[in-house]
Structure 1
């Protein structure tokens, strides 16, 4: 789900072990569950990640793709 985060993390040579420590998780598996979208990141976790990467939260966690449902409004 968070392919952008994974790509950024790998491009900066940041390990899942480092990320688990940053977020206070017990295992790398717990981090991978978050990165894959099985478990959601909390806002606090997203903030920690964005600060560590020096990027905005929305640039990490939200893609540039907009669904067609978000682009059309229907009149009631």
Structure 2
């Protein structure tokens, strides 16, 4: 693989990371299509799984004290199921 391809993949991770840091979501939406330009889609997803799990785990751990009460989650999840 060429060095420019590695640079584009790193750029995809960086832009996705900035988006995730700013909004809390969105890294896969940006990074996977950029990686898929150089690999097939299943490989792009496989490459992104570990960094995504690590960043999501860090978010959960960092914000564990501010989690919402179950009284909010149950109706919210129910509405999501009905809307899906």
Regarding TM over 0.5, the answer is no
Greater Rg, structure 1 or structure 2? 2
TM-score by length of 1: 0.32
TM-score by length of 2: 0.30
Comparing both chains, which one has the higher relative contact order based on Cα–Cα distances under 8 Å and sequence gaps of 6 or more?
1
